[in-house]
Amino acid sequence: MELQKRLGGVNIYLVGMMGAGKTTTGRILAQRLGYGFVDTDAVITEFRQRPIREIFAQEGEPAFRELEQQVLAQVSSYHHLVVATGGGIVLNPMNWSYLRHGIVVWLHVPLAVLCQRLRQDQERPLLQEQPLEERLSELLQARQYLYAQADLELRITAADTPETVCDRLWETLPSILKPIEPC
Ligand X SMILES: Nc1ncnc2c1ncn2[C@@H]1O[C@H](COP(=O)(O)OP(=O)(O)OP(=O)(O)O)[C@@H](O)[C@H]1O
Ligand Y SMILES: O=C(O)C1=C[C@@H](O)[C@@H](O)[C@H](O)C1
Q: How many residues does the chain have?
A: 183
Stretch that binds ligand X, among 66-74, 90-98, 135-143, 161-169 (CB under 6 A): 161-169
Candidate list 7, 11, 23, 98; residue touching ligand X; CB under 6 A: 23
Among 124, 151, 168, 177, interactor with ligand Y by CB under 6 A: 124
Q: Is 87 in the site for ligand Y (CB under 6 A)?
A: yes
88 makes contact with ligand Y (CB under 6 A)? yes
> With binding defined as CB under 6 A, does residue 68 bind ligand X?
no
Task: List strand residue ranges (DSSP E) for the chain, in order.
Answer: 12-15, 36-39, 81-84, 103-108, 152-155
Q: 154 has which bridge partners?
A: 107
User: Do 80 and 67 touch, CB atoms closer than 8 A?
Assistant: no
Among 160, 166, 169, 173, binds ligand X (CB under 6 A): 160
Residue 143, marked binder: yes
> CA 147, CA 24: separation in Å to the nearest integer?
18
| DSSP helix/strand/coil, 151 | coil
Question: CB–CB of 61/55 below 8 Å?
Answer: no
Binding window for ligand X (CB under 6 A); candidates: 21-29, 53-61, 67-75, 145-153: 21-29
20, 104, 105, 136: which one binds ligand X (CB under 6 A): 20
Residues 6+ apart with CB under 8 A from 15: 22, 85, 87, 89, 90, 99, 104, 105, 106, 107, 147, 150
Q: Is residue 102 part of the contact set for ligand X (CB under 6 A)?
A: no
Say whether 27 counts as a known binding-site residue. Answer: no
Does residue 21 have a known ligand-binding role?
yes
Q: Which of 33, 67, 82, 86 binds ligand X (CB under 6 A)?
A: 86
Per-residue burial over 42-64, b if 16 or more Cβ lie within 10 Å, else e, is ebbbeebeeebeebbeeeeeeeb
Rule CB under 6 A: say whether 26 interacts with ligand Y: no
Q: Which residues bind ligand X (CB under 6 A)?
A: 16, 18-25, 41, 84, 86-87, 117, 124, 160-162, 165
